[in-house]
Structure 1
Amino acid sequence: MSVPTVPTLTPADPTYAAAVAPFTTTTTPRPDLVVEARSPADVVAAVRWAGEEGRAVTVQATGHQLLTDLAGSVLISTRHLDDVRVDPVARTAVVGGGAPWKQVIAEAAPHGLAPICGSSSHVGVVGFCLGGGHGPLSRAFGTGADQVRRIRIVTADGVERDVDADREPDLFDALRGGKAGFGVVTEMEIALHPVSRLYGGGIFFPGEASPQLLHAWREWVATLPDEASTSIALLRLPPDPSLPPPLQGAFVAHLRFAYLGTAEEGAALLAPMRAVAGAIADMVDEMPFAAIDAIHSDPTDPMPIWDDSATLSALPAAAVDALLAVAGPGVETPLIMAELRHFGGAIAKAGAGRHDAVAGRDAAFGLYALAPMFPPVAAIAPAAARGVVDAVRPWTMGGLPNFQGPAAGGRMGSLWDDATTAFLTGVREAYDPAGMFRTVGLRG
């Protein structure tokens, strides 16, 4: 087949596997061709070639959250577009299309600034923000999409556009939350915030105490100011020797907490939860923002998983009981994690009062379930993850694009209300009338 005049790889190339390797290894990507873009000009050339050849295009940066095997498509990898430039006066960062959050954090920290990132700094900036983006500081500052000031994107006509609130505002609004299907983002300018430290971390409690902890947590979150964020997860940890001995192979409840005020104020806010049960390990303390990964302690090594999620309108006692019935003490399940995240605060407010496409702004909580796809539990992992979401079905109200698992299928289009869905459809048709980006096989 013909190829564009840019760096490309086919399945026959020895470096192909490494170039397409995702973080979530449940699915093995097999695109017909990989374009290793090393400049925006490479992206332009690749998109123009794909248009001439009538080829479908997908985009990958860090390789998180792969949804399909990408068969029949051309994959444009933006992982080499990872430059980060911080303007400490304007409190902004200009981020390449393939940069992960850890690079932004590293560049911003010397200036006493911080981005609104997710729970893992290994996730790509662009995919996070395009999907809305909920993180440990979002209750205080809003979603990742709310931080976006400008986007440079190559649309299906092969034109690289600078898009902001004044230039092509419909595309700008659609990109902030609409996730995918509009083009290839080569650069994004985001706001930074004067945050250099926080009071945060995680507390591991015995899993047997999870009924008391979850019921206390659902009432406690209503007392928190917007400057405080929290989540709680039921974890079935592996017998990993890298974990502290008390956690190896243990079933635990992991309370996560982040607070922008003083350590004394944070400790007072956290005191009611610390009093619920004796901790196995209490790691909440004063910390530099650059250590924010320690709050959730998300895995950093690729692995095969099956995940599912939902947003919740409320978390009454009955919902907690339903969750415990499928993921709590004494339940035989392959689940690694069943997690609840508290939303509200600035998440519920559109950035700068503008319209955008962020799904789930009015959700009170997020629910996430994750199971490993290793033999012999791989056969039952999907049902276990789905069972968590099904258990709280009476209180579910939708989902978030960045948390849709491999079973999402056609669910992505149902995450937005009818008006936003119609708006996103119209923008996609205006900028990609032939459906070049119809193969939406990636979330990040």
Structure 2
Amino acid sequence: MLDKHSLPQFSAGCDVRIPSPDAKAEDCVSRWSRTKLGKPAAIIVPSNEEDIVATIKYAAANGLKVIPVDGAHGTFVPIDEYCIYLPLSAFDRVDLNEEAGSVTFGGGVITRDVIRTLSGKGFYTCVPNSSAVGMAGFCLGGGSSPFNGLVGLAIDNILRIRIITANGEKSVLSPSSSGEDARLFNVLCGAGFGFGVITSITLRAWRIRDLHMDEDKMWTRKLLFPPTAIQAAATLFSKLQHPEPRLLVTLIFVRAPPTAPRPGAPMVMLSIGFLGSAADGGKAAAASFDESVTSQTMVAESGTAALSSINDVSAPFDRHGDYKEQYSAWCSSLSVETIVAAFNRWVRFGEETPEAKMTSFLVLAAKGTKGMLENDTEGRRFFPRSLRGRHIFVQAVPWWTVETAEEQARAWAAETLAIVNAPQHDGLAAENGFTDGDWVTAYAANLSKGIDLTTTWPAFKIDEIEKLKGLWDPIGVFWNPVVDGV
């Protein structure tokens, strides 16, 4: 146990907490998931950059790791008695530069703050599909967003990163950085965990009015299918799985809530969004109006929604606590049979594992690839190039309430990825001019316990991550998945 009196002198606004010997981990740290969550040696909430520098130097001198925190959604980052937990909640500014078309946010800003600030002024930027996720962590993991088809990934639109590295130095990095700074900037874009403390990031931002949506609102359509109509839902998703850049199609498998007429019943929800006019959206999603489809739904409705509410559907999944992990794969296509098989496996998992039945879910999201392909930078950044041409993002989220259900939960997620990954050896990487590993199917934002990192980065990228870690953090002040394991 640390002695609070041995810590360096921090600013008056810095909050320092040393967990008591009898405190439980969840009483000390609130995190989206309790997986890999122990009690940290200390919790230090810095109020300025000098507090961060002092924390880094103290950790380096005492054999501790510093774990920077924004949204607390990093289920794969271990928290234990050998780390200092560093919430960046004081770094919460969001500044929009309308003239430059950019937004700068602090290292502790969560997505909700960026959406509210920008949408209130008629702008948008790359954001994740959860408003509770930290923006810095989102960018470091690659930054896949609903706007992939239009503008590419978040890492394609980073203008500046302000970082404090393991030696306590403050740097501002950008796409025009040179030498070792350029290598550091590139690794932060897609494999950025464990190279320093990010105090701010600047992203491009765009005017909502330029999307030419009716009344600046996204056209939406929702179809809710009973489990007996999974074939119809899968067929419709299959028809829409290669959307144009403005069309977003998401198929979600969830259980009916306790308040529903049949609590716990499997539900299949297909959600469509179109970043343009309702007329164009109706044409792009014409298959969803076919009577052979709508006759099998419980709900089939169209409407509009402001971009400020783009993540409202995922809000129930933002709750902290329990045990959760995220398993992901990027696929070029999914057959109807594959989708049905994944659904049936999810249903069976719930029936066999009551501790995870009501909460575990599966998402199949189809997005345009035009923006990702146009913004490829010849592999300089660390989002695998071969994924840029794949339309479908699959995310299996096992969510269990008691620790003993971990084995069954992880087995379901692994089997689900095996089901959807079957068609991946399709030459798609070569078709798009990519040669750096079409075996890569995952990405850094969704690491999970024990993941084979060669499914996340090609081998030569893993070697580069290890070399850069040795250069910028030789004594391991920060946790890194490649060097420290997952």
CA contact (8 A) 2:26 2:34 kept: no
Distance of aligned partners of 1:138 and 1:169 in 2 relative to their CA distance in 1, 3 Å threshold: same
Residue in structure 2 matched with residue 184 of structure 1 by the alignment? 197
Residue in structure 2 matched with residue 341 of structure 1 by the alignment? 365
Determine whether 1:205 maps to 2:225: yes
Determine whether 1:356 maps to 2:384: no
Distance of aligned partners of 1:392 and 1:354 in 2 relative to their CA distance in 1, 3 Å threshold: closer
Shift of 1:324: 3.6
CA contact (8 A) 1:232 1:256 kept: yes
Residue in structure 2 matched with residue 327 of structure 1 by the alignment? 346
Give the secondary-structure state (helix, strand or coil) at the position aligned to 2:132: coil
Determine whether 1:370 maps to 2:397: yes
Distance of aligned partners of 1:369 and 1:247 in 2 relative to their CA distance in 1, 3 Å threshold: farther
Cα distance in structure 2, aligned partners of 1:329 and 1:212:
20
Residue in structure 2 matched with residue 90 of structure 1 by the alignment? 100
Give runs of aligned pairs for residues 271-310 of structure 1, distance below 5 A. 271-275=286-290, 276-277=293-294, 278-282=296-300, 284-304=302-322, 305-310=324-329
Residue type at the aligned position of 1:173? N
Give the secondary-structure state (helix, strand or coil) at the position aligned to 1:437: coil
Shift of 1:310: 2.2
Q: Which one of 302, 323, 331 corresponds to residue 312 of structure 1?
A: 331
Residue in structure 1 matched with residue 66 of structure 2 by the alignment? 57
CA contact (8 A) 2:223 2:269 kept: yes
Distance of aligned partners of 1:226 and 1:150 in 2 relative to their CA distance in 1, 3 Å threshold: same
Determine whether 1:423 maps to 2:464: yes
Give the secondary-structure state (helix, strand or coil) at the position aligned to 1:80: coil
User: How many residue pairs are counted as aligned between the two chains?
Assistant: 436
CA contact (8 A) 1:23 1:302 kept: yes
Distance of aligned partners of 1:129 and 1:149 in 2 relative to their CA distance in 1, 3 Å threshold: same
CA contact (8 A) 2:241 2:333 kept: no
Distance of aligned partners of 1:193 and 1:150 in 2 relative to their CA distance in 1, 3 Å threshold: same
Residue in structure 2 matched with residue 435 of structure 1 by the alignment? 476
> Is there any run of 5+ residues in structure 1 with no aligned partner, and where?
none
Determine whether 1:228 maps to 2:228: no
Shift of 1:321: 4.3
> Is there any run of 5+ residues in structure 2 with no aligned partner, and where?
209-215, 425-438
Aligned sequence identity (%): 20
Cα distance in structure 2, aligned partners of 1:203 and 1:327:
20
CA contact (8 A) 1:44 1:154 kept: yes
CA contact (8 A) 1:201 1:284 kept: yes
CA contact (8 A) 1:256 1:295 kept: no
Distance of aligned partners of 1:349 and 1:71 in 2 relative to their CA distance in 1, 3 Å threshold: farther
Shift of 1:247: 7.5
Cα distance in structure 2, aligned partners of 1:434 and 1:59:
17
CA contact (8 A) 2:94 2:114 kept: yes
What is the TM-score with the length of structure 2 in the denominator? 0.81
Residue in structure 2 matched with residue 392 of structure 1 by the alignment? 420
Structure 1 segments (4+ residues) deviating >6 Å? 13-16
Residue type at the aligned position of 2:141? G
Cα distance in structure 2, aligned partners of 1:16 and 1:5:
26
CA contact (8 A) 1:201 1:296 kept: no
Cα distance in structure 2, aligned partners of 1:179 and 1:205:
40
Residue in structure 1 matched with residue 41 of structure 2 by the alignment? 32
Distance of aligned partners of 1:11 and 1:284 in 2 relative to their CA distance in 1, 3 Å threshold: farther
CA contact (8 A) 1:134 1:143 kept: yes
**Bigger RCO (CA 8 Å, 6+ sep):** 1
Distance of aligned partners of 1:164 and 1:430 in 2 relative to their CA distance in 1, 3 Å threshold: same
Say what the alpha-carbon RMSD is for the aligned residues: 2.9
Shift of 1:269: 2.2
Give the secondary-structure state (helix, strand or coil) at the position aligned to 1:188: strand
What is the TM-score with the length of structure 1 in the denominator? 0.89
Deviations 1:334-387 (A, max 9, x none): 452122122423233436777211133243322221233124855632222222
Give the secondary-structure state (helix, strand or coil) at the position aligned to 2:474: coil
Residue type at the aligned position of 1:389? L
Give the secondary-structure state (helix, strand or coil) at the position aligned to 1:198: strand
CA contact (8 A) 1:26 1:303 kept: no
